[in-house]
Chain A
């Protein structure tokens, strides 16, 4: 077990260089991306961009769970839709200001996450996916039946209101765009922060070898539940923001297809990569947008794109790009 003189390169040098490389890559991409993002609403319809941002945040929240804890939830629509209904209700019926309304959506998402996580977190693999799906379907039926959700119509004409006590008029799309951009940026930063924190290090250890983490004294269920609640809260934030943008919360937001869609986006973009969910969300939203007017069913198109991506790059788009760059 002694050091071999044939070890040409000190082992520590390799990850250090790799992380330098990553940092340069991410910084470059970030600067370029930032310029595009700030200028984007002058070239592209802002509501469409805001839709992408909301779904990017939703997918990033989902990715926190599947990419960094290794849990496949099939019930994230419950948090997204729950957040959307909660925000819409707070904004329209209670007349709350938009910042509080959106926060309320995030809180309801987190609370739903706590309850669902409590029942699901001990299950493994496909059982976890099944139980989250079952619980999310219960949320769906509550939303279908409950009086405050407006049944088939949903909650319509949600007022966008004014931010900061009347200072910023959110009915102006351009204003709202920058607010949504800030919310999404905050959400993505939150995911990044959690992943690269002491808590994130424990999550990684649990994902790598759960029995070993237990034998080191980690109560792994609590860490998983913590991550689940964070993911649900951010999904609720995404749902609440979506309700503000479209001034609408409907059954589509809590339906199981929404859970499927966020899985699709995250897989397409790249599980366990920070930009992956953003890229995946943009791609799916763009596909849906451009094929929405065609007579060809859009679900078939996204399905085909999905299959092609899975066959061509198993790591997702961003995952594959990073992998190829690293190998060089």
Chain B
């Protein structure tokens, strides 16, 4: 319990034309943990993700990753440091095959990105690694399918495989199970547990039984502010949280 935080945010604020979507959020993510960020719709969870990964610049506040202030970095450079995010709306390259989707991530790791004079056939050297990543998420038989043709659950799995190709230290998953069929939820939940070994995961998730089952620590966000933080049990006993968020689920 004494491990240093891998990511800390202090006093994060984001205003959209005067509207305080995120209003002074402090966050500390322990290395190696699975940390959940929960809260009602519109609480500012996705905005916090955007601020942590620098897809949005905060109005105020700082983000420190492994002791380094990343608040001024462009989002691509944040990803290069090993802090990789997924998106709430599934983010695949729709017209590429599943295999080619994963290869896009592997390409950068292999520094096969700027060679404009070489044949793209050199990329087939990445196929074995891409196939094994697809196998890790149960997509080995869909390697040749266009991403656009995959079911919703498979798209999310493909996204995770692509993210893992970068071997990130910290994964930020925005509602990885939203809109998934029941049997897929169990699978992806297991998948996250597996990939979290040796990594840190911060995830936004609405399905509270998944959160209870998976996460070491929970931060509750409401109206852009942190309402409570702690273990799932402690947080779910907090009367303010029950009032703001869990009242109906807890009956």
Contact = CB atoms under 8 A, between A and B. Distances in A.
B108 A218 contact: yes
B159 to A, nearest CB: 8
Interface string B225-242: 000000000000000000
A209 B116 contact: no
Contacts of B123: 198, 201
A211 B120 contact: no
B108 A211 contact: no
Contacts of B113: 198-199, 202, 218, 223
Interface residues of B, number: 53
Contacts of A205: 93, 96, 104
Nearest to B106: A216
Nearest to B181: A1
B142 interface: yes
Contact of A220 (B76, B84, B86, B162): B76
Q: Which of B80, B104, B122, B162 has the most CB of A within 10 A?
A: B104
A86 to B, nearest CB: 23
B141 interface: yes
Contacts of A20: none
Contacts of A16: 144
Interface string B127-150: 000000000011111111100000
B95 A208 contact: yes
Given A1-B184, A202-B104, A208-B93, A216 B118 contact: no
B79 interface: yes
A67 to B, nearest CB: 14
B55 interface: yes
B2 interface: no
B77 A219 contact: yes
Given A214-B76, A219-B77, A1 B187 contact: yes
Contacts of B96: 204-205, 208
A197 interface: yes
Contacts of A3: 140-142
Contacts, number: 130
Interface string B87-100: 10001111111001
Q: Which of A10, A198, A200, A205 has the most CB of B within 10 A?
A: A198
Nearest to A1: B138
A13 B138 contact: no
A7 B150 CA distance: 13
Interface in A208-254: 208-209, 211-220, 223, 226, 230
A185 B139 CA distance: 42
Interface of B: 53, 55, 74-77, 79-80, 84-87, 91-97, 100, 103-105, 107-108, 112-120, 122-123, 137-145, 153-154, 157, 162-163, 166, 184, 187
Interface of A: 1-3, 7, 10-16, 193-194, 196-202, 204-205, 208-209, 211-220, 223, 226, 230
9 contacts: A11-B97, A11-B142, A11-B143, A198-B113, A201-B107, A205-B93, A211-B91, A212-B92, A217-B77
Given A205-B96, A212-B92, 18 more contacts: A1-B184, A3-B140, A3-B142, A10-B144, A14-B144, A16-B144, A201-B103, A201-B107, A204-B95, A205-B104, A208-B93, A208-B96, A214-B75, A214-B79, A216-B104, A216-B108, A216-B166, A226-B116
